[in-house]
């Protein structure tokens, strides 16, 4: 590819990328395009490379976005797995991401390469997937758990720039979903009678995928944040959660996941769920904001 191919020309690759995205192993492929390392750094032994498309126009410069991700890694690591290198591919918009990957999404973690793609300038959510997802394959861990951890650590001050934070009034140090904390969203879903039961979500993704993202993502984030504690979480609880993740990823059925949860977290999932519900009933969203 010509090193100075314009973004408009690159977009013509969409049909090829869309076809490729349907082939085996497509979720492990790095994006097409003419990329350059625009910013980066290192923390806790992990190199971060912030890549942008040559010729593309971005709403936020690479340097401040990269610095936010480095601060995020500095606070979260090394409690979680820290790869030798993380490549984060920043896209100017969703259309370009779709054209160069075939994925109709705002962001995704490419686990095989410790890389992320995103339309958000500093997507801590996708980076957290790289730190928390079990390495062993096949990957069986339910999306409820993986998204729960990512939502827990999606701190608004890392995920968005200062102007967006001010505009949306997002609270710090708690996962957020459209202007509310994950706990505030989960409490509202509970009040509406829409908060899902956790046992069907603990193994497999059929039940998780059948529900709206606006229900499942905040619920997962709220429950995991409740278990680990806000901010960077409690190290002992994180270690127990990581042990559960490794076992649950090898589990062949829901019963094995539930047994692993009780063994590693010290309580049956049903009891943890009941305690979480009581926590939500007492949650004060205004105080959190």
**Residues 48, 150 within the same domain:** no
Range of the domain at 163: 143-288
* The domain boundary residue, chosen from 107, 132, 157: 132
19-43: pLDDT as tens digits: 334 444 667 899 999 999 999 999 9
Confidence at residue 1, expressed as pLDDT on a 0 to 100 scale? 42
Question: What is the band of 289 on the pLDDT scale with cuts at 50, 70, 90?
Answer: low
**Residues 151, 30 within the same domain:** no
**Residues 183, 51 within the same domain:** no
Q: pLDDT at residue 88 above 90?
A: yes
- Domain count within the chain: 2
In sequence order, the 6+-apart residues with CB closer than 8 A to the CB of 156 are 165, 168, 170, 171, 172, 176
Cβ atoms 257, 142 nearer than 8 A: yes
Specify the pTM: 0.88
**Residues 18, 126 within the same domain:** yes
**Residues 52, 127 within the same domain:** yes
**Smallest Cα–Cα separation from 117: which of 21, 50, 47?**
50
**Smallest Cα–Cα separation from 65: which of 167, 162, 144?**
162
> Distances from the Cα of 90 to the Cαs of 36, 115, 128, 199, 212, in angstroms?
10, 11, 16, 36, 26
In which order are the strands placed within the sheet that holds 46-53?
35-43, 46-53, 85-90, 115-118, 107-110
Q: What is the mean pLDDT of the chain?
A: 89
**Residues 40, 110 within the same domain:** yes
**Residues 14, 119 within the same domain:** yes
Question: What is the band of 4 on the pLDDT scale with cuts at 50, 70, 90?
Answer: very low
**Residues 55, 170 within the same domain:** no
Give me 266's structure tokens.
């010290």
Q: How many angstroms separate the CA atoms of 240 and 238, rounded?
A: 5
């Amino acid at each position: 590819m010509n090193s100075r191919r314009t973004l408009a020309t690159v977009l013509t690759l969409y049909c090829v990328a869309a076809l490729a995205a349907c082939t085996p192993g497509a979720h492990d492929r790095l994006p097409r395009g003419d990329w350059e390392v625009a910013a980066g750094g290192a923390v806790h032994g992990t190199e971060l490379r912030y890549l942008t498309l040559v010729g593309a126009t971005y709403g936020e410069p690479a340097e401040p976005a990269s610095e936010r991700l480095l601060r995020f890694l500095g606070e979260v690591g090394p409690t979680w797995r820290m790869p030798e290198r993380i490549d984060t591919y920043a896209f100017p918009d969703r259309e370009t991401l779709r054209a160069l990957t075939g994925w109709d999404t705002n962001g995704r973690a490419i686990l095989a390469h410790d890389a992320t793609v995103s339309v958000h300038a500093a997507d801590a959510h996708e980076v957290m997937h790289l730190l928390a997802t079990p390495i062993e394959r096949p990957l069986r861990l339910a999306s409820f758990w993986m998204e729960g951890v990512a939502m827990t650590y999606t701190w608004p001050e890392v995920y968005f720039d200062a102007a967006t934070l001010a505009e949306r009034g997002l609270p710090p140090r708690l996962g957020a979903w459209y202007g509310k904390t994950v706990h505030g969203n989960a409490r509202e879903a509970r009040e509406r009678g829409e908060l899902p039961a956790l046992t069907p979500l603990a193994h497999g993704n059929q039940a998780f995928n059948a529900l709206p993202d606006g229900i499942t993502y905040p619920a997962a984030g709220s429950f995991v944040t409740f278990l680990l504690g806000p901010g960077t979480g409690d190290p002992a609880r994180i270690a127990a959660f990581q042990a559960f993740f490794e076992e649950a990823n090898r589990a062949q059925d829901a019963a094995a996941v539930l047994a692993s949860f009780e063994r590693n977290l010290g309580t049956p999932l049903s009891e943890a769920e009941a305690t979480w519900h009581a926590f939500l009933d007492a949650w004060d969203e205004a105080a959190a904001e």
